Amino acid sequence: MDLILWRHADAQEAEPVDDRHEMMRRDLLRSLTGRGQKHAARMAAWLDQQMGETTRILVSPALRCEQTALNLGRKFKTSELLGPDHSVEDLLEAAQWPDSKTPVLVVGHQPTLGQTAARLLGLPQVDLSVRKGGVWWLRSREREGRWQTVLLAVQSPDLL
């Protein structure tokens, strides 16, 4: 199974508020900056060339993630399990790792994306940083009777 982790591109800064509920609501409404939109478009063009047509696309309900994914011009499903306050376990459940029959692209947030990559690569207690707009492409495979995770690509929008 291929699992593609795409961090949302650069977004507007959140306005500070005292109420946690209001802060979370506003965070979900943050939109991409002009720079973020350019980076999302570049990465989407690269991904579109690399991904197969059967790739299932799952997106956080945060506006900045939806705006990032829209650049692909493909259908996607919004999943509450990918929100900013969710865990690695939630992401893996949504993606059906490692059992999905088709590749899965997840558009989400730090630190969950980096923590997911670290766990799947066998790097416990490490927080990997996924750059805004960046992609980490992982694949599960069986070799000599053991399951492995292979890192296929790490791509930054700055290099496209």
pLDDT tens for each residue of 110-133: 999 999 999 999 998 888 999 999
What's the confidence (pLDDT) of residue 127? 83
Residue 78 pLDDT: 98
| pLDDT tens, residue by residue, 4-63 | 999 999 999 988 888 888 888 888 999 999 999 999 999 999 999 999 999 999 999 999
pLDDT at 11: 97
Cα 140 from Cα 152, distance rounded (Å): 10
67-116 confidence digits (pLDDT tens): 999 999 999 999 999 999 999 999 999 999 999 999 999 999 999 999 99
pLDDT in the model for residue 20: 83
Which domains, from first to last, does the chain contain? 2-159 (3.40.50.1240)
